[in-house]
Amino acid sequence: GQQVMQIPQYQHVQEGEDFTTYCNSSTTLSNIQWYKQRPGGHPVFLIQLVKSGEVKKQKRLTFQFGEAKKNSSLHITATQTTDVGTYFCAGYNFNKFYFGSGTKLNVKP
């Protein structure tokens, strides 16, 4: 069945370095959402991308939706310790909604 694959599983960076997580689907998606879960917390919605090739920015975070609407990425510029957490993508299509397995980001000060 349709799944959303997310890589990498873990990423350790030094504060100030950039970070990227990737999400891939085997089929075309209607939209893709991104969530962040801080340690000990619950997932919090970050953004939803709908259009092919869409790029959205939130301060140091840049979200992209692929031209074929099968992949997406989240890029963080100059990470800070407040960026620590697990980032999940979630793809939606034809009443099917799948969460990726998440990328756990650790930032060393």
SS3 content of the chain, % helix, strand, coil (to 5): 5, 60, 40
User: 3-class DSSP state for residue 83?
Assistant: helix
Binding characters for another protein, 58-77, by CB under 8 A (x = yes)? --------------------
33, 64, 71, 72: which one contacts another protein (CB under 8 A)? Answer: 33
Tokens at 74, concatenated:
């989240």
Comparison of 77 and 99: residue with beta carbon closer to another protein: 99
Stretch that binds another protein, among 20-28, 43-51, 55-63, 65-73 (CB under 8 A): 43-51
**Residues sharing a CB contact under 8 Å with residue 56, sequence separation 6 or more, in sequence order:** 47, 49, 62, 63
Comparison of 75 and 99: residue with beta carbon closer to another protein: 99
d(CA 65, CA 51): 7
Binding characters for another protein, 83-102, by CB under 8 A (x = yes)? -----x-xxx--xxxxxxxx
48, 62, 77, 106: which one contacts another protein (CB under 8 A)? Answer: 48
Per-residue burial over 75-93, b if 16 or more Cβ lie within 10 Å, else e, is: bbeebeeebbbbbbbbbbb
Would you tell me which residues interact with another protein (CB under 8 A)? 30-31, 33, 35, 41-45, 48, 88, 90-92, 95-102
